[in-house]
Amino acid sequence: MPANSSEIKNGKGNIISGYGCLWKVFKLFGIDVESPSKCMREYTQRLYIYYSFGFFGFLSLCAAYSTTSMWAKTTNISTGLKISFPVTLSNVLSTVLWIVLYKQRSYLQITLVRMHSEAYPRFDKIRAINATLYSFCFFHIFYMLAWSFLMNETSEDMYYQLLLGYKLGNSCRIFANFLFLFAYCINVVFFPSLVAIALTSIYLHCKFLLSEYEQKIKSMSQCIVYAPVKLIRHYSRLLEVVGELNGILSTPAFLVFILLSLEMFSCMAVVLLFDFDQKNIQRVFSSLVILTHNAIVFLWMVLIASSVPAKMKVIRNHFSSMFESLLYSSESDRDKLAIIRHAMSKETVSFSACGMVKFSRKFILSFFGGFLTYALLFININNNR
């Protein structure tokens, strides 16, 4: 049953409750998908979030500066600047990603409500999404705490330069490490990965809708003559909703793809270009952890997104068999044949990143093929050096 306008306006939690606590986490960043109001209180909240993100951005820039200082002591200033550049660029792109999501939250909510009303039983992946989010948050908290203690021995000279000659105590230095890492993880690692999980959940919702529709069409294929016309026309509405979602999520998906790729290539460069000696082993191990984390998030998102057009092709095959059965049936209906033919002519909707990259399994092979090529290049550079 479609949701009425008052439900959409008030944003009741039971409308899109199948996502678990995902939207609760987004509220911490000021992105309220469930009830995007337009009042003065929201304006105050928006200013608060802007200042918070500016503060995190400033800390990330300090973290980039500290990264430059640390690498400059072990190699040279040029290498330090090259390694800190992806951190600075990722911080800017992460802020742009937040602004894009904030601007599109109303359109996303309305489209999610439409999706919620298109199928019964409702989309319900609360346990899976909550388990993913809890594991995700636990991993980042553990990473920040562990890395804060590991950096304690190597960060004394860095803070001595950063604070213009003022030396920090042991506990203060651990707290400063945690503060820098907190800003780095929130802006550069946590938030893009959180958006990737949200995109994956929405792609999974689309797959759920198409799977439910496929089951209904499959049950009707044995008695195609009595199949309701309304059920066949419903496919056009599903494609319309999926197409709207692709338009809304295209820009965030592009930014997430750039952020994950940038961080993966940066971490790969650190892992392959620097030796596992006593000076670099902590940083190399940290880069290896983030590289594995981003690769898993990226692969999961693209695999779920690529399954949506695959489901559409399966439904198309069902329509084709229905059309042939009805065409050679003694009780063929021309109007129904025209409706099925129209449904068969609908193009499949593939989720993409601003139309430049289509999320498919071929794209996974090409991306990791290019990734492997750069890895071999870095290995060759390291051997020659």
pLDDT (tens digit per residue) in 325-358 = 777 765 666 777 777 777 777 788 889 888 888 8
C-alpha 61/C-alpha 79 separation (Å) is 17
Distance CA 19, CA 126 (A): 5
Residue 40 has pLDDT above 70, yes or no: no
Range name among 71-85, 261-275, 345-359 with the lowest pLDDT average: 71-85
* DSSP state string for 166-225: PPP-HHHHHHHHHHHHHHHIIIIIIHHHHHHHHHHHHHHHHHHHHHHHHHHHHHHGGGGG
CA atoms within 13 A on the CB side of 346: 29
What phi and psi values does residue 358 have, to the nearest 5 degrees? Answer: -95, 130
pLDDT tens column, 239-267: 888 889 999 999 999 999 999 998 888 88
- d(CA 203, CA 307) in angstroms, rounded, equals 9
C-beta neighbour count of 200 within 10 angstroms: 19
- Best CA proximity match to 295, nearest among 165, 366, 193: 193
Q: What is the pLDDT of residues 102-129, one digit of tens each?
A: 888 888 888 888 888 776 667 778 888 8
* Nearest-angstrom CA–CA distance, 335 and 341: 10
Domain boundaries, the chain: 5-384
Q: Residues 280, 285, 286, 287: what is their CA dihedral angle, to the nearest 10 degrees?
A: 90
- Average pLDDT, rounded, for the chain: 75
Helix, strand, coil tally for the chain in percent (to 5): 80, 0, 20
164 confidence band (pLDDT: 50, 70, 90):
very low
CA distance 320 to 307: 20
Mean pLDDT on 179-195 = 81
What pLDDT, on a 0 to 100 scale, did the predictor assign at position 199?
93
Under 8 Å between Cβ of 335 and 314 = no
Q: CA 105, CA 103: separation in Å to the nearest integer?
A: 6
Residue 33: the pLDDT is: 81
Most distant CA atoms of the chain, gap in Å: 92
> What's at 41, amino acid-wise?
R
Residue 279: band (very low, low, confident or very high) from pLDDT cuts 50, 70, 90 = low
Percent of the chain with pLDDT over 90: 11
